[in-house]
Structure 1
């Protein structure tokens, strides 16, 4: 398919929506744990699946942007540098800020959060065997980094090997999950093997498949596919709301996300969407929102306690304001910290002539 529009605003908007879903999920958990309140009837208890949407989007974007350098071994250095600069610097700043707070106010720290080994693993995003990273939401970034590294290997080896690497990885994940399902509760495994063969890694592959289909085929019935994706996503969310987390739930949300992303990209690649600038901005700010929302929730919780707002107004309104505060706080971090930092780093990269596009056209 010939792509007439290379910036797919719909997908950027989806990033923002996925980040908001995660914020609302954590707000739902916070409300239940601290106030014994089902926020908005626990309507967003499925919000953690925003992570599944993120993974499909990541797979799509990485393949879509880098498909021209498959097999160009010189392109792997700028690719990895770009991924490193996109993920780590702002993450390190936020992690360091939290560590300073934890050591200054140790009563707020969980026991593992001041452990040197845990701190070092958090900084490099090495997968954790039990506890969460210092920035709790960063557990997903370990999966992202692994995917980036495997895709980097595929860039060096070329499209032929890319297909086979991902086929072997996918088959291994499927076999591992079947063995786990058959073995039941008696199944034991190494946590690194669990990490590498986690079913969520399928979602990166679904994203890559989506980008491949958009770039190489005319997608028919795009509106119907989009509607089907929304329906599957909604029905899965309702089911999870009523029954809690179920085995292989990622399969349903991953497929639904694949359908939505493929259909939306197929439509917009031929006819650009006109979306509110605020929604696009939220997508741009989604990484900062994702990394900082727990911090802002805790700050607002202190304000709630000090001003006794829950007693005055009931829990629902203050908790909704808390979610809004967390989203706005993340957007401010993006505008004041992440965006300027990215601008500085991009200028630094360009001065050294290691931009992916330059390598691809050489």
Structure 2
């Protein structure tokens, strides 16, 4: 669910459709995939706008079907699995101590990507919580746990910043994927398959109820990350052209957005995973093939993808603040569409400023620190053909 630091796209549209893929250059930027991050963040924003709208007006207009906007989280998880395979595609060290160094670098990059901005937003929220706890954590039946909030470890309660529950899964994905990187490269696809088998066995055997760690480890949502990783392996192996990419993208988007127009209520667990995983993978693979073909992605959506992590962390706070100020100013009789536009624009502007003023400098600092701690390595073996 995070923004990559990739360079300009160097993909080519040449070659036989659906042929075996050629190696992908280091620094390839997947702009269409980055745009999907922006779409995922927008979907979550819409879902929460539907929930927060009532705080600013008594005449709500967004339907309950907008709860399906939470599919943005599922899209984030699928993208995460894909990106983990993509960024480690050339990691083929023969010696265990070299792989250990790589894993250390991998986890350092993930930790410095997730925690700093999360901690800053959480600290701001914590100061509000100390003064007005009813304004921050009123929708959850359980009090937040400080240890879980700070370190994003599994717990039955949400972190203080409620959207942080997804980051608990993300950190678990990264840790287990890092362990998988200790195996030789040719074993990793089998490791992903074994991971899926263990998760399914644990879920069907009821192990998920044993503890908070087990609840997360054997949750059906894990399959979204693994499906994204499998999509990454397909992308590295098969070179689809722009036509196949566009078709898959269209089919996947139709498969996702049809739920907004259905009478089926949004449900967690297996129903969510079964409904959303395959369309998300189709959208993702289609977007990645379009990037390989060198097609240009919508610039605003790419920027929104850059801002997506900041938007994800800050949007709910912005929405609640705008809605409360709206009602306090006596504007509840103003048409709801005006409130929704103001909330949406405010959330995106706050995210853009947060990215530019806080997140991007943090990313630059983290990258410099990683270069000092982990020496630059020569290019490993080419990506799988």
Fold similarity call, TM over 0.5: yes
Q: CA deviation at 1:326?
A: 1.4
What SS does structure 2 have at the residue aligned with 1:310? coil
- 2:362 maps to 341
Trace 1:61-140 onto structure 2 (pairs within 5 A): 61-71=83-93, 72-110=99-137, 118-129=145-156, 131-140=157-166
Distance 1:188 1:66, change over 3 A: closer
- 2:253 maps to 230
RMSD: 2.8
If the length of structure 2 is used for normalisation, what is the TM-score?
Answer: 0.82
Q: CA deviation at 1:161?
A: 4.1
- 2:11 maps to none
Aligned partners of 1:50 and 1:352: how far apart in 2? Answer: 34
Distance 1:25 1:11, change over 3 A: same
Distance 1:249 1:106, change over 3 A: closer
Question: What are the superposed Cα offsets for residues 244-265 of structure 1, whole Å, 9 maximum, x if unpaired?
Answer: 4275221221110101111221
Q: CA deviation at 1:127?
A: 1.5
What SS does structure 2 have at the residue aligned with 1:327? helix
Distance 1:273 1:44, change over 3 A: farther
- 1:172 maps to 198
Count how many residue pairs are aligned between Structure 1 and Structure 2.
350
Aligned partners of 1:350 and 1:37: how far apart in 2? Answer: 54
Question: What are the superposed Cα offsets for residues 285-331 of structure 1, whole Å, 9 maximum, x if unpaired?
Answer: 100000011111122123202211122x1333213311221121111
Any stretches of 5+ residues in structure 2 without a counterpart?
A: 1-20, 94-98
- 2:68 maps to 46
Q: CA deviation at 1:149?
A: 0.6
Distance 1:120 1:260, change over 3 A: same
If the length of structure 1 is used for normalisation, what is the TM-score?
Answer: 0.87
Kept in 2: contact 1:210–1:262 (CA 8 A)? yes
- 1:183 maps to none
What SS does structure 1 have at the residue aligned with 2:239? coil
Any stretches of 5+ residues in structure 1 without a counterpart?
A: 181-186
Instruction: Find the partner of 1:216 among 237, 249, 269.
Output: 237
